[in-house]
Amino acid sequence: MDTKGFYYDIIIAGFGGQGVLAIGNLLAYAAMKEGRQVTFLPTYGVEMRGGTANCTVVISSKEIGSPIVQRPHAVISMNLPSLLKYGIRVLPKGLLMVNSSLIDLKEVSRKDIELLAIPVNDIANQNGNPKLANMIALGAFIEKTKWVTFSSVFESLEKVFDERHHGLIPSNIKAIQIGAEYVKSLL
Amino acid sequence: MSQNIEKILVRGNEAVAMGAIDAGCLLFFGYPITPQNEIPEYLSKHLPPLGGEFIQAESEIASINLLLGASATGARAMSSSSSPGISLMQEGLSYMAGSELPVVIVNISRSGPGLGGISASQGDYFQATRGGGHGDYRMIVLAPSTVQEMYNLTCLAFDLADKYRNPAMVLGDALIGQMKEPLTRQKAEKMDLPPKDWALTGARGRKPNKIKSLYLQEGELTEHNWKLYQKYERMKKEEVRFEMVNAEDARLIIVAFGSMARVSKTAMEMAREEGMKVGLFRPITLFPYPEKGLYDISKQVKQFLTVELNTGQMVEDVKLSVDRDAEVHFYGKPPGALPPPEEILEQIRKYYR
């Protein structure tokens, strides 16, 4: 990894309020902590108010040109509209991670990609905090791809979250770990 | 040294605000507008504890005139806005150019014309480089392409404004303002700048200074305009900045600035992977425009592809700059959708020979 060049891009999408921007922010921050080049490009404005929300994260060994990505290596899709919009854009052999709590897997038509179905809302509910579905997704994604280490993500939480929310960091760490455990249990 | 400074992941807009603070700017006047609101948001929080002043004025017209007053006292001051707001500020910019006041204006441009939309656009190139206000004036215009440059060029804008006693603009857009990238917040070495002995600081013990743009005596205005002209000529000699990548063996060179330059850079790399020798020429100063840099490279490369997020503005400067037998092609997109690198690659394939 250190000597070889690498490049990886991800689109994370869902509806406003699902915390997709937090997932992207944490991935980008953690990758930066590990000395990589990163870009984080959010959609913003009208789209944030209840509509779709998405962000693009690029992680690379060298300076990143375009923060806009047409065909990503991975998509994390938190709801059905985002699956329909971005699922078709994943590169062949890429990773499509879907929130199977809200998406019927019959909607996934592609056979040329790797599908990872995680019922993130159900898992979050079972663990007592439905608001942490995004952190379940993040934990699952990192366990699956290993693009960043868990310790970098945990350290990034206090940078990404506003200080007034720092009390929530332990529960977020727990949720990330639960998401990771779920992926391990699939193996 | 820079290795010791921890990198932070910030939006381009926040980097502008940090650059302003690190350049010693303690005064901000503005009126909110998307997609630049993170600049006033950051400064409203961070200027007062530093002893600075953040004023949300009742309008952009009020903001620009507050800025005029502040800079007349010799203080470093700035305003930021986005396209429609910048249009409202044009009268003030013309007055400040005429009065030779050093200020920094940031335009995180959005789509127009009119209220347009909040998506990224490079449709304000003409307004920025041709003097959107009245009169025969010029503004220094810097076009950052990365979050780090949003910081660095904001710092530089203050120095250049002071060096020339002239307004300087940082021209970004929604893409570069909203995206996050690692930033090393390290102050640049300050330029050696002339003393502000023209400033209105109270005339006790000296002759009063006057800041004005009205010249009614015969010959006075002509002389003033020649003086401004000499200043613009000096900027052209001393301040041109651009980046050139892979030009040595190139058969086609993309010319693009700001956000489109970085998308073009990826398109260039894709083209190189396909065996096409493509380079990139990125103007960093839009005024003064890197005419000579383009002319020099057009002696050996004859195909140019200008890429802009508008339907054709900077391409005119490219055409004016290159050697007469060079071909200048254009790919532009009106605001609303951002072209991914694949789209630019297609254009490269079309013109590469």
Read off the pLDDT of residues A7-33 as tens digits, 9 standing for 90 and up. 999 999 998 889 999 999 999 999 999
State yes or no: pLDDT of B176 exceeds 70. Answer: yes
For residues B229 and B241, give the distance between their C-alpha atoms in angstroms, rounded to a whole number. 20
Tokens linked to B196: 């502000």
B338 contacts A44? CB cut-off 8 A: no
Report the C-alpha gap between A120 and A118 in whole angstroms: 5
Cα B154-B160-B166 angle, rounded to 5 deg: 110
The pLDDT of residue B1 is 45
Predicted confidence at residue A52, as pLDDT, reads 79
Is A1 within the bounds of a domain? no
The mean of the pLDDT values for chain B is: 96
The gap from C-alpha B320 to its chain's centroid, in whole angstroms, comes to: 20
Q: Is pLDDT above 80 for A44?
A: no
ipTM: 0.94
Task: Over range B248-264, report the average pLDDT.
Answer: 97
Whether the CA torsion B150, B152, B153, B155 is positive or negative: it is positive
pLDDT at A124 over 50: yes
Q: What is the mean pLDDT of residues A77-85?
A: 95
Concatenated DSSP letters of B275-312 = T--EEEEEESEEES--HHHHHHHTTT--EEEEEESSSS
Q: Is A38 on the interface with B (CB under 8 A)?
A: yes
User: What is the span of the domain harbouring residue A178?
Assistant: 7-186
Distance CA B137, CA B131 (A): 6
pLDDT at A49: 55
Question: What is residue A16's predicted lDDT score, i.e. its pLDDT?
Answer: 85
Q: Quick check: B319 pLDDT over 50?
A: yes
Alpha carbons B279 and B264: distance in angstroms, whole number: 10
User: How many residues in chain B?
Assistant: 353
Task: Determine the residue among B14, B37, B150, B181 to mutate to test chain A binding: the one whose Cβ has the most chain A Cβ atoms within 10 Å.
Answer: B181
pLDDT digits (tens, 9 = 90+) for B42-92: 999 999 999 999 999 999 999 999 999 999 999 999 999 999 999 999 999
Does B309 contact chain A (CB < 8 Å)? Answer: no
Check B179 against A25: CB less than 8 A apart: no
Q: Closest-CA residue in chain A for B174?
A: A44
Predicted confidence at residue B55, as pLDDT, reads 98
In B, which residues are within 8 Å of A69 by CB distance? 340
- Give the gap in angstroms from C-alpha B206 to the nearest C-alpha of chain A: 51
Distance CA A182, CA B10 (A): 32
- The pLDDT tens digits for B200-246 are 999 999 999 999 999 999 999 999 999 999 999 999 999 999 999 99
Q: Do the chains contact at A29 and B9, CB–CB below 8 Å?
A: yes
Asked whether residue A2 is domain-assigned, the answer is: no
Residues 6 or more apart whose CB falls under 8 angstroms from that of A39 comprise A28, A56, A57, A58, A64, A67, B179, B180, B181
Fold of B2-202+225-238: Rossmann fold (3.40.50)
Hey, is the C-beta of B35 within 8 angstroms of any chain A C-beta?
yes
pLDDT at residue number B167: 98
Contacts of B175 in chain A (CB under 8 A): 41, 67-68
Nearest to B263 among A25, A38, A66 (CB): A66
- Residue tagged 């205005």 (tokens): B221
pLDDT in tens, B88-118: 999 999 999 999 999 999 999 999 999 988 8
Which residues of B are less than 8 Å from A86 in CB distance?
none
Confidence tier at B5 by pLDDT (50, 70, 90): confident
Residues of A in contact with B338 (CB under 8 A): 68
Q: Does B262 touch chain A (CB under 8 A)?
A: yes
- pLDDT for residue B268: 98
Give the count of Cβ contacts less than 8 A between chain A and B. 69
CATH number at residue A42: 3.40.920.10
What is the structure's pLDDT at B337? Answer: 77
> Cβ(B185)–Cβ(B114) under 8 Å?
no
Cα distances (Å, whole numbers) of residue A67 to A20, A58, A60 = 17, 7, 11
A139 versus B187: which is more confidently predicted?
A: A139
Say yes or no: B8 contacts chain A, CB-CB below 8 A. Answer: yes
Residue B214, judged by CB atoms within 10 A of its CB (0-12, 13-18, 19+), counts as: exposed
Residue A158 contacts B, CB cutoff 8 Å = no
- pLDDT reported for residue B82: 97
**Structural domain boundaries in chain B:** 2-202+225-238, 243-351
Q: Say yes or no: A48 contacts chain B, CB-CB below 8 A.
A: no
Environment class of residue B54 by beta-carbon count within 10 Å: exposed (0-12), middle (13-18) or buried (19+)? Answer: middle
Extract long-range pairs of B268-276: CB within 8 Å, 24+ residues apart: B268/A65, B268/B348, B269/A65, B270/B341, B270/B342, B270/B345, B271/B345, B271/B348, B271/B349, B271/B352, B272/B246, B276/B251, B276/B252, B276/B348, B276/B349, B276/B352
How many domains does chain A contain in total?
Answer: 1
pLDDT band at A1 (very low <50, low <70, confident <90, very high): very low
Q: Are B250 and B277 contacting, i.e. CB atoms less than 8 angstroms apart?
A: yes
User: In the numeric block, which tokens belong to residue A88?
Assistant: 């078709």
CATH class of B243-351: alpha beta
pLDDT on residue B36: 97
Q: Tell me the CB-side half-sphere exposure of residue B18, using CA atoms within 13 A.
A: 20
pLDDT value at position B81?
A: 98
Closest CA to B175 of A40, A84, A172: A40
pLDDT for A167-184, tens place per residue? 999 999 999 999 999 999
Nearest CA in chain B to A70: B340
- State residue A46's pLDDT score: 52
Instruction: Please check whether residue B179 touches A, CB under 8 A.
Output: yes
Query: A85 in a domain, yes or no?
Result: yes
Q: What percent of chain B has pLDDT over 70?
A: 99
Please say if the pLDDT value at position B173 is more than 80: yes
Integer-rounded Cα Rg, in Å, for chain B is: 20
Residue B347's pLDDT band (boundaries 50, 70, 90)?
very high
